[in-house]
Amino acid sequence: MAKEATEESPSFEEGLDALEKIVRELESGDLPLERSLALFEKGVNLSESCRTQLQDAETKIEILLKKGRKLEAEPFELDDNDGSDS
């Protein structure tokens, strides 16, 4: 039960890959309306699945950071030294 990747719920990485493909196809602009709508709907579902997986991962991290009996959530920050302060 550690990893449940089905056709309805792909792994996080599979979901991101699929979203990238959908974006590229939608950006091509050469799609019939029906295909565009179907891709958009699939993208929304994939996005929600990825968001849920990220929230689950955040919850697991918070549990792992549990100190004593008190849960001390610590924000996760990327070490992204790109020089921008915004």
pLDDT band for 81, please (50, 70, 90 cuts). low
Which domain does 38 fall in, by range?
12-64
Exposure class string for 35-48: b at 16+ Cβ within 10 A, else e: eeeebeeebeebee
Mean pLDDT of the chain: 80
Assess if residue 79 is contained within a domain.
no
Task: Say how far residue 15 (Cα) sits from the centre of its chain.
Answer: 7
> C-alpha distances in angstroms, 64 versus 20, 51, 72?
31, 20, 10
pLDDT 10s digits, 16-49: 999 999 999 999 988 999 999 999 999 999 999 9
Question: How many domains are contained in the chain?
Answer: 1
Assess if residue 3 is contained within a domain.
no
Tell whether the model's pLDDT for residue 8 goes beyond 80. no
